[in-house]
Amino acid sequence: MPEFGLTEPRIRGRPRGFEAVDAIQAATRLFWAVGYVAASVDQLCKTMQMPRATLYSAFGGKERLFLAAIDHYAKTRLVPLAAALGPKGTLAQDLADFFDHAVVLATQDATTPGCLISCVLSDAAGANPIFRAELDSRYAALEHQIAVRLRMSQDAMPTPPEVLAVLLASVARGLMLRARSGATTANLQPVAAAAAQVFGQPSGV
């Protein structure tokens, strides 16, 4: 079973005519912009600047390329987002950073509004059990990181951290969805601030 991806550099044979990181980034952006099914292999090859055969030999097809794009998105976009949780300051401050970061991620580029996972993978999850499992594990991973951060807080919480973590993640995902409909950074930043204020007040939850 071949390992697909762009990690191992090839030594022998004709060298590749494309930049590995540029290619996966371009694929990620196309999926993000138009969705999984709507992004054709033709379009993908064009934006990735590689022939079809190379896409298949390097990534194993459209489905696995999409999973690679999800992974690239998580590493480059969600890791920084989760890092905003710190802990660097108070829970309220860290949550403010977190929600604000989410808004910026979802609104900073009008050609890719919203979130690749919450707006695109969530649709694809309907028809494909592999994608549904991927969606579930990506969601669980973020919630776990939030729960860890919550447990660091000194506040005694009536709500279990695991439950509160799902709620906080849901707020962030809801903001992503609103960005998909065209809401701007300016539209959503007050909402993010309100969320941080609600959930950040000591013993509030």
Six token digits for residue 183: 């809401």
Q: Tokens representing 142?
A: 């973020």
Of residues 63 through 102, those in contact with DNA by CB under 7 A are 63
Of the candidate spans 33-41, 67-75, 106-114, 122-130, the one that interacts with DNA by CB under 7 A turns out to be: 33-41
Long-range contacts of residues 117-120, Cβ cutoff 8 Å, at least 24 apart: 117/70, 117/73, 117/74, 117/78, 118/173, 118/176, 118/177, 119/176, 119/177, 119/180, 120/31, 120/32, 120/35, 120/36
Instruction: Tell me: does residue 127 bind its own copies (CB under 8 A).
Output: yes
How far apart CA 124 and CA 129 sit, in angstroms, is 9
Residue 205 binds its own copies (CB under 8 A): yes
Residue 42 binds DNA, judged by CB under 7 A: yes
Binding status of residue 61 toward DNA by CB under 7 A:
yes
Which pair of structure tokens corresponds to residue 198? Answer: 């609600």
- Residue 70 is a binding residue for its own copies (CB under 8 A): no
Q: Does 47 bind its own copies (CB under 8 A)?
A: no
Which 165-194 positions form the footprint of its own copies (CB under 8 A)? 166-167, 169-175, 177-178, 180-183, 188, 190-191, 194
Applying CB under 7 A, the residues found at the interface with DNA are 10-18, 37, 39-43, 50-54, 56-58, 61-63
